[in-house]
Structure 1
């Protein structure tokens, strides 16, 4: 049995050696063995890497023939340190020279190992060409991305998981009011900026869209908020926020935002123009009826207790006798007087011509209502001086009350108040409101 075991050892060793040679021959990485500075073996992958047609193009030549000159001395120093069989050098990047004279970037590991009956250096060579191409492509993409982002009118800020700003494009610094790189590395809570909600109230940091994205991973789009800058300017922004890499749990967030200050102002102006009378600045017919509809639609305490329909007596004579310019002045002054005579919660609007509608808020007692109407009529009838004319106008006021469960439409309420106004109008309302000519040319 002992003799058989001894006979089996060379066969086992030969099988192991054959497996090793197969592994080396078919390895995707290049493998080269050099002894006393001369190449004694190169696997097929290394021959392809060096562009060698035959093994003889490499084997038998000094290993330094295939190493770029700047890399020779560091390579020799590394292998000099390998003094014990089985020790290996650290992975090192270097440049090899191909047979056609071109260079190739590789990563190498050298191992002092037994080669036949003596020691030699076996080197594993990993081709970095694909990696370099990928890195170059990534650098080009990053450069392209950076160039594009830097040219955007939209602000773009990247914030890490700890809430610190990693990058900010020029537009972001311009919108925030910063000219330097002061933003980079700053925690968003430490910025000297006051963020406001849509109602211009200070906004807690938990509401910041980027904080929500970092906490939940959700995208936030078209989030409108205000920003009080260090220079005192207030800007309004529309922001989007998302994770830079949604599949990475440690991904930073990217926030982009547009300055909509001018757009917001324009929209508010358009909304104002659509709901207010251009001559007097009062609410127009549409807005007043909309407020009245909202009051009728509530099932709780009525926000509007009474509706007053106000008509100026004999106003047509002013336009016919003195012209529409003076008539317009009279309407503007009457509108101002009505506003001053009402409470802050009351609504007054011009619904057409010389007709005004007042929505009285809350519960108004009968005695208080009579006092209010008397005051409004007295205020309206005070003389108006316009372009040398002393003008006095009286107002007829009709009243209709709202009650819980009122099922009238706004138009019905308006009609009832209109009828009440005509019943209250004096029979001599057609008399001219002109009294005399004065030398004064101002309006009051």
Structure 2
């Protein structure tokens, strides 16, 4: 290795490259939880123009008391026990009340005698993930209250979700259905695949199709197939909405029988 390469790959140089470019928040603190060094991304999240402005300050200078106090207490435990904090989900509240979420890992810094002299932490912003989880929970709550059966499959036809109505009409527990091939629940899988091909072309389709219960009984349904697309427009799965026609057919038969009786 040449002298120029050795200089470029020196520890300080590599650390600076890391601290200036990684999108996660990285921070070094002393034993009093004062910042020694922060990454550029962390400085920007704290509203600073440069990482150097954070030196000597604490979380109390940038965040609401609630979060700053919790972070400080976590760091005191690390310093007193020497045990790291791994992947803690933090609700970060700024002084102006803005909220974001992060997954934080903090580990102790030891001197040559094994004493804890500070901490180094890395936090990954997971705000979008948390918001997505909340939306999914809300959607799941809504779907569970719908009377129609709803199942979601991946592009290979494996069930990844089924609401209670779908599970009940097929005689399964919802968790039993996850991972099953949905075509095993159709009396005529080839007919179902024709509907699926039509949905792939048109985006959605519907038709009558008999389904099979866990006990082997067959029942008529009106089923619709609806493509699920990702953000880039690529098909990532299919939502199958099913309404059992058993009760409707029973009513129609009763009406027909009643009509025949009245004609006599």
**TM-score category (smaller protein):** 0.5 to 0.7
Q: Distance in 1 between matches of 2:212 and 2:192?
A: 22
Determine which structure has the larger strand proportion and give its number.
Answer: 2
How do 1:40-439 residues align onto structure 2 when only pairs under 5 Å count? 40-53=36-49, 55=51, 58-63=54-59, 66=63, 67-82=67-82, 89-113=85-109, 120-147=118-145, 149=146, 152=147, 155-156=148-149, 167-169=163-165, 184=173, 211-212=185-186, 218-219=192-193, 221-223=207-209, 237-240=220-223, 255-258=242-245, 259-260=247-248, 261-264=250-253
Deviations for 1:246-304, whole angstroms, at most 9, x for unmatched residues?
A: 957xx99764323322235557889x8xxxxx99x8xxxxxxxxxxxxxxxxxxxxxxx
CA apart distance, 1:24: 1.4
Residue 104 to residue 24, structure 1, CA distance change in 2 (3 Å)? same
The answer to which of 8-17 and 103-112 deviates more is 8-17
What TM-score do you get using the length of structure 1 for normalisation? 0.37
Structure 1: runs of 5 or more not aligned: 177-181, 189-207, 228-235, 273-277, 282-444
The aligned counterpart of 1:24 is 19
What TM-score do you get using the length of structure 2 for normalisation? 0.57
Cα RMSD between the aligned structures? Answer: 5.2
| Secondary structure of 1:20's aligned partner | helix
8 Å contact kept, 1:24–1:43: yes
Deviations for 1:143-190, whole angstroms, at most 9, x for unmatched residues?
A: 34344x1xx4xx426599999x96433x997x89xxxxx9746979xx
Residue 78 to residue 95, structure 1, CA distance change in 2 (3 Å)? farther
Q: Distance in 2 between matches of 1:144 and 1:38?
A: 46
Q: Distance in 2 between matches of 1:34 and 1:17?
A: 18
Structure 2: runs of 5 or more not aligned: 196-206, 214-218, 229-234
| Secondary structure of 1:90's aligned partner | strand
8 Å contact kept, 2:37–2:52: no
